[in-house]
Amino acid sequence: MIAKAREWLQSAERVAVLTGAGISAESGVPTFRGPGGLWRNHRPEDLATPEAFARDPRLVQEWYDWRRGLVSRYEPNSGHQALARLGAPVITQNVDGLHQRAGSEPVLEVHGSIGLAVCTGCGREDRDPRTLLVEPCAGCGGKLRPGVVWFGESLPEEVWAEAVRISAACEVLLVVGTSAVVYPAASLARLARRAKVIEVNPEETPLSGAAHVSLRGKAGEILPQLVEG
């Protein structure tokens, strides 16, 4: 199975990658769903929706400040590094910036970036890791939020359009570490009609049936074998 997948990756001219939280799991970043997941002790609708922010901004800001503080301590793992060597565009649902730090280019962040602070009052944006969301905007005193996409919000339009173009045109789509339950990101794999779809995930997902090859295991172990050959 892995030999066939490697051959497809080597012979295709247009390869694209779609990643989710599982690629960062071996860097220590908790995934959302499953054991030890970020949602385990929280309901997503209490933390990752515009309604939650309107109801209790402080709770949401504190949760994201905690996660923003952790992000700088994580390092890209051998999975991120293998994808950077592959040299294909990476469409990621992750907000942790680890693909960029590993050297992938381009990286399309369809769910935004946790490193970005956005003022809900004046629209001011900053990437200063010392910024605390719980503190008011230095410019207008407004409330700060993270530059991520919450449930019920639209994905960044241009980034999404480019992700759709790349998925529709690729010959091989490598899908890594996503439970494939969050839309519209999960639909990208189905858009890749012409492509051979290779899934890398220790667990079965709703996408597994449609994948041409499912490689069951950890991204940090499988991706280096896929890319080196």
Binding characters for ligand BJW, 45-84, by CB under 6 A (x = yes): ---x------------------------------------
Closest C-alpha among 182, 159, 150 to residue 64: 150
Taking a C-beta distance cutoff of 8 angstroms, is the pair 192, 36 a contact? no
Partnered with residue 112 across adjacent β-strands are 148
Select the residue interacting with ligand BJW from 81, 113, 179, 214 (CB under 6 A): 179
- What are the CB-based long-range contacts (under 8 Å, 24+) for 210-216? 211/175, 213/1, 213/4, 213/5, 215/1, 215/2, 215/5
Is 127 in a helix, a strand, or coil? coil
Closest C-alpha among 178, 147, 173, 175 to residue 21: 178
Of 20-28, 97-105, 122-130, 159-167, the window that binds ligand BJW (rule: CB under 6 A) is: 20-28
Of 51-59, 80-88, 165-173, 176-184, the window that binds ligand BJW (rule: CB under 6 A) is: 176-184
Select the residue interacting with ligand BJW from 54, 203, 216, 229 (CB under 6 A): 203
Binding characters for Zn ion, 101-130, by CB under 5 A (x = yes): ------------------x-xx-x------
In 12-128, which ranges are continuous DSSP H helix? 22-25, 44-47, 50-55, 57-71, 78-86, 98-102
Residue 14 or 124 with smaller CB distance to Zn ion: 124
Q: How far apart are the first and last CA of the chain?
A: 13
Least distance in Å: CB of 23 to ligand BJW? Answer: 6
* 111 labelled catalytic: yes
Least distance in Å: CB of 186 to ligand BJW? Answer: 7
Q: How many CB atoms lie within 10 A of CB 51?
A: 12
Alpha carbon distance 51, 59 (integer Å): 12
182: contact with ligand BJW by CB under 6 A: yes
Q: Which residues bind Zn ion (CB under 5 A)?
A: 119, 121-122, 124, 137, 139-140, 142
Q: Which residues are catalytic?
A: 111
Q: Which residues bind ligand BJW (CB under 6 A)?
A: 20-22, 25-26, 31-34, 37, 48, 93, 95, 111, 148-154, 177-179, 181-184, 200-203, 205, 218-219
